[in-house]
Copies of this chain bind each other. A is one copy, B any other.
Amino acid sequence: MVKVNDNYLKLQGSYLFSNIAKKVNGYVEAHPEAKIVRLGIGDVTQPIAPEIINTLHEAVDEMGNADTFKGYAPDLGYEFLRNAISDYDYKKRGCSIDPDEIFVSDGAKCDCGNIQEIFSVENRIAVCDPVYPVYVDSNVMAGRAGDYDKSTEKYSSVIYMPCKEENGFMPEFPTEVPDLIYLCFPNNPTGAVMTKDKLQEWVDYANKNGSIILYDSAYEAFISEDNVPHSIFECEGARTCAIEFRSFSKTAGFTGLRLGYTVIPKDLVVDGVKLWDLWARRHGTKYNGAPYIIQKAGATIYTPEGRKQIEQQIAYYMENAKYIYNGLKEAGYSVSGGVNAPYIWLKTPDNMTSWEFFDYLLEKANVVGTPGSGFGPSGEHFFRLTAFGSRENTIEAVDRIKNL
């Protein structure tokens, strides 16, 4: 008699962003006249840059011609893309990451969700609180999280590292030593960043304790300050304790094209087993590569013209971030993030819960944001806005919030 994976039944509610979508759709159905501005899910709005569009057209033509047609992609991804990543994202920053240590995929979300598979279910994970839900939920599904306690809103086996106003939204070393430590900087949802010195302390901590850091740097392209590392591999010793995830989604507007990559150094060895080998095996068995045309598109961001265009796009979004940050500050909100990250993290007014503020903004201003509590209990009384709207919508949203 077949049985389901009971761990799935321990998951709370549905995936945060599916939930928000349902709420918004419900509101829109009841108020078809409402002009909703969405600064919630963190999806981009600017079209794909012209240089990338050109590449896509060229690659499509290659697929239509017998002489240049491409079938299954190489297991790790095309060399032209891995070479460009290795050179531009790593070697240029002084990090020695070889093309062979880069696994191209259809996005950082998938990789962040799947990476836990190569580790023992007995491993303890630590996450920032608030946190991107995928890290926790994928571990719940695997049976690594324990049981959910409704009163604390926490899973019994997960080590939560509260990131609150009091500690500048920075995780502190937990009292119990975790086996796997999820870190995401620039942070989603708080927009906080770690300096290189601070991140070095985490690398040292992991090496000392035999822990692995799962480092999500999906937002590194938004870093504007010099002392903020773009990669964990800028820290000494990271090659023996860290895996890094990167995404083209926010860097180049690829949320609808799907491309990302994971870096696993070949020095990363646990009990004599190279994690690279395990991930390569997973990749080969359960995955079949990102489309050739998308990999070509991705490589275009490493050309001079492609780079110029995506930098303009990032600057555009960061102007939005500044506008939101300053506007909310003027309106009396307590705000952080938005300087090295496309996320603005604000404290809800009048001690409203995050979901109360969500409903309030949706109903009174027709603005959609993301409730901080959806990212974990320490996110309660906070709220995330993203800089990924159009300028017009961003200004409109901020003005509406100011006028509440």
A11 is contacted by which of B70, B71, B179, B281 (Cβ under 8 Å)?
B281
Q: Tell which of A5, A9, A43, A65 has the most Cβ of chain B within 10 Å.
A: A5
The yes or no answer to A109 lying at the interface (CB within 8 A) is yes
The yes or no answer to A50 lying at the interface (CB within 8 A) is yes
Which A residues, 241 to 293, have Cβ-Cβ distances below 8 Å to chain B?
253, 255-258, 270-271, 273, 275, 278, 281-282, 284-293
- Residues of chain B contacted by A9 (CB below 8 angstroms): 273
The yes or no answer to A119 lying at the interface (CB within 8 A) is yes
- Residues A284 and B63 in contact in the complex (CB < 8 Å), given A119-B5, A291-B294: no
- Residues of chain B contacted by A284 (CB below 8 angstroms): 14-15, 17-18
Which A residues, 6 to 39, have Cβ-Cβ distances below 8 Å to chain B?
6, 8-9, 11, 14-15, 17-18
- Residues of chain B contacted by A180 (CB below 8 angstroms): 2
Nearest-neighbour CB distance to chain B for A312, whole angstroms, equals 14
- Residues of chain B contacted by A278 (CB below 8 angstroms): 4-5, 8
Number of copies: 2
| Residues of A bordering B, CB below 8 Å | 1-6, 8-9, 11, 14-15, 17-18, 41, 43-48, 50, 53, 56-57, 60-61, 63-66, 69-73, 75, 106-107, 109-110, 113-114, 117-123, 133-134, 137-138, 141, 179-180, 209-212, 253, 255-258, 270-271, 273, 275, 278, 281-282, 284-294, 390
